[in-house]
Structures are given as structure tokens and as C-alpha cells.
């Protein structure tokens, strides 16, 4: 990267590097270098951990009423590959990613590549300047998302979270279709699936339609990568 490009990136991320080699390395995809040790993969590994620590600490301090499970759900959403990719694209970092021949057409399509760049930049800042600059960078870009992590989301309103995702990323809103019901009238179980546009997500069973819809929304969130890790517990 030339000096002008590096300065442009520093302006975007709000941090000036002492060692600009770190910044260059943060944007070097493995397909663009002869030796993978020269790529951003190791930085991506470190950045993922730094991001998780910062997000966990902020959630712990900002939401004292959240139980462990609530914190885990919020953290899973915030550090997911999809959220990282969104933050990276909002900053325009994906435009500077260095990729090998044959990968260029994938640059704008792959959320994983964009997410990796964000994590690599976090690590580069951390190595160059320490924890506080890395934390400041993360909070500048994640604070609006953290503020949206309200009780409704953290306590399992998966339908609300899926609705917000669809409004932002899809032209179609989630539709909940009843597939089956079993049992006597006083003790029925219901099977529901979520459909967004023409995509059918995994169905779920519940002891009432509301529970089945929430669990079906959770399945969709997991399949979309909006939530990751252990399946959160639905709460009434």
C-alpha cells in the first residue's frame, strides 16, 4: 500500500500507526501473499479475542440486570461474523482488502472477508498502541449496536430481532407459517417455520403458537449467522 492509501485508512479508523507495516498486513488476505504467515490471519485470530473481551466488559458494566445467559446472547450477536462485516462495510474497510487473482469478484460478496478485515484492524491497533486504543476503536463503532441491545433482545424476543434484520437487509419481512399441530385441545403442540422471501428456515415446535414462532425465529437467526454459539434459551 502507498502512503496516501495508508493515511486514508488511518483517517477512516481514527488511529495513527507507529508501525504502518501492521496496518498493511491487516489488509493482506492469504490469497495475496506467498506465505500465509505474511497474511492477516494471525491478526484476525487476535482481533477476534480482543473484540470479545471489550464487548463482554461493556455488556457486563452497562447491563447489570442481565443474567449470564442474557449477556451471552447479546455478545453472540455483537461479535458475529455478520455484525463484524456490517461494521467493516460501514467504515469502508473492505475496499482496501488485498486479494489474489480470481478473488476480486468475491470481495464485495463475502461477509467473512469483511469481518476478517475488521478483526485484523482491531488486532493491529492493539499490537501497535495497546488495549486502550483498540478499545476506543471498538466502542466508537459498536456503541450504537450496544445501545440497541435492550432487554427485549437479550431476553429472547427473537421475532423482534429477526424483524429488525429483515427490515435492514431484505425487501421481505418474516412470515410465520403453521405446519402442524399435535395433541389434545388442552395440551397441543405446534410446528412453525419462518419464511423470508422464498427462503424457508428450519421449523420449530412449541407448546403454544407464540413459543413455536419464537423458536422458529431463533432457528432463522442462527442459520443467518446473526446469533452464534450455544442455542439461547427462549423465555416467555
Q: How far apart are CA 217 and CA 98, in angstroms?
A: 37
Write 155-158 long-range contacts (CB < 8 A, 24+).
Answer: 155/70, 155/235, 156/73, 156/214, 156/218, 156/232, 156/233, 156/234, 156/235, 157/214, 158/214, 158/215, 158/217, 158/218, 158/221, 158/234
Q: Check if 136 is active-site.
A: no
Of the residues 44, 70, 119, 213, only one is catalytic, namely 119
- The torsion angles phi and psi of 153, rounded to 5 degrees, stand at -70, -50
Q: Which three cell numbers stand for residue 201?
A: 428456515
User: What is the radius of gyration, based on Cα positions, of the chain?
Assistant: 20
Burial-class residue 87 by CB neighbours within 10 Å (0-12, 13-18, 19+): buried
Which residue, among 155, 144, 141, 134, has the nearest Cα to 69 in the 3D structure?
155
Of the residues 44, 48, 128, 213, only one is catalytic, namely 48
Q: Residue-wise over 37-73: b if at least 16 C-beta within 10 A, else e? A: eebbbebbebbbebbeebbbebbeeebeebeeebbbb
Residues that are catalytic? 48, 119
Amino acid at each position: 500500500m502507498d502512503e496516501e492509501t495508508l493515511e486514508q485508512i488511518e483517517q477512516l479508523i481514527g488511529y495513527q500507526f507507529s508501525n504502518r507495516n501492521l496496518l498493511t498486513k491487516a489488509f493482506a488476505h492469504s490469497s495475496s501473499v506467498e506465505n500465509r504467515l505474511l497474511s492477516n490471519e494471525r491478526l484476525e485470530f487476535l482481533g477476534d479475542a480482543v473484540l470479545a473481551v471489550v464487548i463482554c466488559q461493556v455488556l457486563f458494566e452497562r447491563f447489570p440486570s442481565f443474567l449470564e445467559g442474557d449477556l451471552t446472547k447479546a455478545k453472540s450477536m455483537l461479535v458475529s461474523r455478520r455484525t463484524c462485516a456490517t461494521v467493516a462495510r460501514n467504515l469502508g474497510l473492505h475496499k482496501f482488502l488485498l486479494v489474489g487473482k480470481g478473488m476480486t469478484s468475491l470481495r464485495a460478496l463475502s461477509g467473512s472477508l469483511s469481518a476478517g478485515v475488521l478483526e485484523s484492524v482491531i488486532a493491529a491497533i492493539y499490537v501497535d498502541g495497546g488495549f486502550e486504543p483498540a478499545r476506543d476503536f471498538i466502542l466508537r463503532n459498536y456503541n450504537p449496536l450496544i445501545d440497541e441491545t435492550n432487554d427485549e433482545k437479550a431476553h429472547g424476543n427473537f421475532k423482534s430481532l429477526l424483524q429488525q434484520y429483515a427490515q435492514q437487509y431484505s425487501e421481505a419481512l418474516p412470515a410465520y407459517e403453521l405446519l402442524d399441530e399435535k395433541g389434545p385441545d388442552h395440551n397441543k403442540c405446534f410446528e412453525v417455520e419462518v419464511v423470508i422471501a422464498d427462503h424457508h428456515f428450519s421449523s420449530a415446535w412449541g407448546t403454544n403458537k407464540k413459543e413455536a414462532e419464537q423458536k422458529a425465529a431463533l432457528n432463522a437467526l442462527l442459520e443467518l449467522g446473526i446469533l452464534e454459539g450455544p442455542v439461547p434459551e427462549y423465555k416467555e
